[in-house]
Structure 1
């Protein structure tokens, strides 16, 4: 196998990336590597880490960007906080191009970055609190959630908790472990309140935000994921938020799930079945959750409307 083949084999195990040291070990000279980067045949993604493809040929993926930073900072580096949550697929935090990396104190002080979107944290996690996510080292779900909710505000923190519970990354018993881990840490008092509001039945951050708006507006739903059936037991639909006595349902319409033509068609048919069965169906979007008063006001109007 020639040096190009050996380098392709290494890149295949690292999301398509190679380190400068690896290139030198397999027959490339420093001058060759510098020229490949200078003339745009290789892309430099982090210090001494490259994507060996032309700049115009491919845009590096988010995963490649994270992998490049981890490779650049050495074996002690691991994804933490928002980036660890992203790798686990835990939803609820604002979108950002920042990459959060944890390093032990001494290593963090010696690290050289040179990229404004890389955020280093002097964090030490025991080996048992780290996992490999398809080759990327990161804090495990319990450690990730514990770290995030100490720094996040109430809405994103509860969204993170709901998402981790809903995806099965945390169990209800794990919430007690999170409470112990955050004890006496800055932000712990507020974070304990977020733990009390967590509910794994919420299937999206939008559902969580809509629920919290209702709670804050003193019209909390009495059930989540309410199944509505007819007299024969046929399932008419499932409501994200439900008020059973007044027969009111609220749906959280996210663009990802409800934005396709097929999803819109199914939503309309389900809504028609529920309305014909005597239910009021409300629909809320992300924009609606930005106004603290809007969702509670709409729900309160529906709850106070006399039923036939």
Structure 2
């Protein structure tokens, strides 16, 4: 049900599931009759203020939705959900800081507190989150996200998804939605040419690359080592 609420809010990062989860209070849940096998009914009582309306549909409010998800999901999905909720403005850092008290004593709370510490609303897609976490796990964490590169006159040459400012290295997370059109490909090439001419090295990673734990950090480490010998 919380995954369905996340989808209503446009929060990204959860594995795709075909079911729609619906929560109803006790008596209503017992009386409800659902014939569609894609709809999964739950009997849950939500406290006052825990339910909001999204496009006319009742859903748990964003903080509760995210809190329940991170108790249940693995690290990569949980951090991606947190990043997405922050990036979309559904949660603020101040709101995020209240979640540990909300989940205290719950199963999965210890791991969830670790996920909260890794959340970063600058990530603009689950692919960026996964790429960042692979780098963190591989010992080459980026020192910034959404790195703005400007020329001497202040003109913006481009923005890199993951940045290592010392060696002047940028890693781009090439998702299908953002980079899949010919227009996007042309824009990416022009931007990359500007950044390369300004002295930056560009690496590009896809979702498939994140499925191999060592590939992204190994590639980043090799690039940094090569740049330091120049």
TM-score clears 0.5: yes
Match of residue 103 from structure 1: 24
Counterparts of 1:147 and 1:179, CA distance in 2: 11
Asked if residue 129 in structure 1 is aligned to residue 81 in structure 2, the reply is no
- Structure 2 unmatched runs, 5+: none
Asked if residue 203 in structure 1 is aligned to residue 203 in structure 2, the reply is no
Match of residue 69 from structure 2: 148
1:106 deviates by 4.4
Asked if residue 178 in structure 1 is aligned to residue 99 in structure 2, the reply is yes
Match of residue 248 from structure 1: 169
Match of residue 8 from structure 2: 87
Secondary structure of residue in 2 paired with 1:131: strand
1:108 deviates by 3.1
Q: Residue by residue, what CA displacement relative to the aligned partner does 1:72-127 show, whole Å, maximum 9, x if unpaired?
A: xxxxxxxx311000000101111121111112244434433233322223322123
Counterparts of 1:257 and 1:291, CA distance in 2: 22
Distance 1:274 1:81, change over 3 A: same
Q: Residue by residue, what CA displacement relative to the aligned partner does 1:44-71 show, whole Å, maximum 9, x if unpaired?
A: xxxxxxxxxxxxxxxxxxxxxxxxxxxx
Match of residue 184 from structure 2: 263
- Structure 1 unmatched runs, 5+: 1-79
What number of residue pairs does the alignment pair up?
Answer: 229
Work out which structure has the larger RCO, using CA pairs closer than 8 Å and 6 or more positions apart in sequence: 2
Secondary structure of residue in 2 paired with 1:162: helix
Match of residue 228 from structure 1: 149
**Greater CA drift, 216-225 or 101-110:** 101-110
The residue correspondences of 1:268-283 to structure 2 (distance < 5 A) are 268-283=189-204
Q: Residue by residue, what CA displacement relative to the aligned partner does 1:118-158 show, whole Å, maximum 9, x if unpaired?
A: 22233221231111112110011111101111111111100
1:262 deviates by 0.8
Secondary structure of residue in 1 paired with 2:84: helix
Counterparts of 1:87 and 1:211, CA distance in 2: 26
Counterparts of 1:185 and 1:115, CA distance in 2: 32
Structure 2 length-normalised TM: 0.95
Q: Which runs of 4+ in 1 moved over 6 A?
A: none
Counterparts of 1:194 and 1:159, CA distance in 2: 9
Alignment equivalent of 1:188, drawn from 89, 99, 109: 109
Counterparts of 2:64 and 2:31, CA distance in 1: 25
Structure 1 length-normalised TM: 0.72
The residue correspondences of 1:2-81 to structure 2 (distance < 5 A) are 80-81=1-2
Counterparts of 2:49 and 2:11, CA distance in 1: 20
Distance 1:246 1:168, change over 3 A: same
Q: RMSD of aligned C-alpha atoms?
A: 1.3
Distance 1:306 1:89, change over 3 A: closer
Counterparts of 1:220 and 1:143, CA distance in 2: 30
Asked if residue 213 in structure 1 is aligned to residue 113 in structure 2, the reply is no
Counterparts of 1:116 and 1:190, CA distance in 2: 33
